[in-house]
Amino acid sequence: MNIGRMFKLIVVSGMALSWSLASLAQSAGAEHKELPPPGGPPKAFHLPQKEKFTLRNGLQVTMVPYGHLPKISIAVMVRAGALNEASGQVWISDLVGRMIKEGGTTSRSTEQVAQEAASMGGSIDVNAGEDQTEIALDVLSDFGERAVALLGDVVEHPLLPESDLARMKQDAERRLAIALSQSQPLAREQFMKALYPDHPYGRVFPTQEMIAKYTIADVQKFYKDNFGAARTHIYVAGKFDEPAMKKAITEAFSSWPNGPAPLIEVPKPISKREFSLIDRPKAAQSTVYVGLPTAYPGEEDYIPLSVTNTLLGGSFASRITSNIREQKGYTYSPRSLLSSRYHDAFWAEIADVTTAVTGPSLKEIFYEINRLQKQPPSEAELKGIQDYIAGVFILANSSRQGIISQLAFADLNNLGDDYLETYVKKVYAVTPEQVQQMAEKYLATDKMTIVVVGDKSKIADQLAPYEHGSGQ
C-alpha cells in the first residue's frame, strides 16, 4: 500500500469523523438531548524500542517491534525519485518503479514474484515519489525472512525487460491524458512550475513526445545511476524475531554495491506574487491554488507553522473552511496543507469553487489570512486544533505502515530519534501568539503565487484585482 496515500486517507477519515461528530452534536443539541462529556486530550505517543544498524555497504536498517498481530511490514526506501530526473525525462523514475514491480527479476518471472508474495499473504508495492522510491511488502510474521529475500531480489536484480516497455509507456500516456483533463492537476502543475522554475520539483508532467522517446536503455541507465546500498534505508515493523530478521537482511543485501551517495539538490523556490489563469471553457467550477514557500521540517518554526496551517485551513474546523464552505457555500472541500520535500516546503490553499464566486473565494481566503496576522486565536480555539492534530498523529501511528512512514519522514529530514516521541508535546507548546507570528512571518499575501483554472470568459473580471497585484 502507498504509505503516503494511506496517511492522507487516515487524515481525511479523521477529519470526516470530526465533522460527523460535530454534526451529531448539533443535532442532539437541537433536540435538547444530553451530550456525553468531551474526551480527554490524546496521550503522547511512545515508540517501542527500535534497533538500528548499518551494513558494510552503507545500507541502513531500522527495526521496530510493533503490535500484537502476527504480521510484518518491510519497506525498502531508496533515495531516488523525481529529484533525480533530467529535464527531458519527467516520469522516468515512475516508469522504472513500475517496471521493478511488474518486470520480474533475473531469477524470477513476474508471475513467480507475484505468486511467492501471495503465498506469504501479501503483494509487492512500488511507489516512486519526489525524493524516494519505496518497495514494500506486508506479510504474515512466519514469512518475514522469506519476504526479505524476495525484496532483496526484486530491488537488487530487476529484469527491466524491453518486452514490457511499450505497455508501460501506453499506460503512462493514459495517465497523463487523464491528469491533463482535470483542473486540480493542471493548477498544481502551474503552481509547482512557478515556485520551482529551474528545479525537478517544478516538472510535474512529461509531454507525450517525451514518453514516446523513452527506451529500455533510458530505464536501465536510471536504475544503474540511482539505485544502490548507499541510498537505501530498510524499515521493518511488526512481530518478528529480531536476530533472524537481522541475519536475513544482512544476507539479502550485503552484496549489493554501494552505488552513488544520495543526490542533494536543495531548491531555491520563488516567493513572489505571480498570477496565472488557465482557461477551461464552460467549466462549472474554478480550481484555486494559492501559496508560497515556507519553513521545512527540521526548522524551528515548522511545528508551530503546522499548527497555524491546521487552524487556518487544514481541518474541517479551520477558519477558511468555515468561511467559504460553511458560511458562504462557495465550495465543498477546501483545504490547506504544508507540503514538504528534502529541506523544502510550501504552504497552499486549494479549493474547487463555484464559477460565479471565484473572485469572492480568493477575497475570503486572503481575509482569513490577514485576520490571523492581526489577532491571535483564542486559547479555546487553539486547544481544539491541538487536540485534533495530536489525535490524528496518534492515529497515523496506529499501524505498521504508519510507523514506517513516520520513521522514514523523520530520517529523510534528519529530525532525530526523539521526533516522534516529542511531537505531541511540541504541538501543545505552541501559543496563540506564536500562531499569529507564524501567519505574519510566512503567509505574506503579497508574495503568494495564485493559479486559477476555470472559464476565463466568466471569471477574468472577478480576478482582475489579483492579476494586477492589488487584491489581497
Indicate the SS3 state at residue 212.
helix
pTM, two decimal places = 0.89
Closest of 286, 427, 266, 279 to residue 353, by C-alpha? 286
Which pLDDT score is estimated for 369?
Answer: 98
Residues in a beta bridge with 344: 341
Which pLDDT score is estimated for 463?
Answer: 96
Cβ atoms of 48 and 68 closer than 8 Å: no
Cβ atoms of 96 and 34 closer than 8 Å: no
d(CA 166, CA 124): 22
Query: In terms of DSSP bridges, do strands 274-279 and 449-454 run parallel, antiparallel, or are they unpaired?
Result: parallel
Give the number of other CB atoms < 10 A from CB of residue 125: 18
285-338 confidence digits (pLDDT tens): 999 999 999 999 999 999 999 999 999 999 999 999 999 999 999 999 999 999
Closest of 469, 136, 130 to residue 273, by C-alpha? 469
Cβ atoms of 403 and 28 closer than 8 Å: no
Indicate the SS3 state at residue 349.
strand
Which pLDDT score is estimated for 182?
Answer: 97
- Through-space distance between the first and last CA atoms of the chain, rounded to whole angstroms: 41
Which pLDDT score is estimated for 122?
Answer: 96
131-186 confidence digits (pLDDT tens): 999 999 999 999 999 999 999 999 999 999 999 999 999 999 999 999 999 999 99
The DSSP 8-state label assigned to residue 60 in this structure reads E
Which pLDDT score is estimated for 17?
Answer: 40
Which pLDDT score is estimated for 10?
Answer: 39
Which pLDDT score is estimated for 22?
Answer: 44
List Cβ neighbours of 214 (8 Å cut-off, separation of 6 or more). Answer: 89, 92, 95, 165, 169
d(CA 326, CA 336): 16
Which stretches of the chain score pLDDT less than 50? 1-33
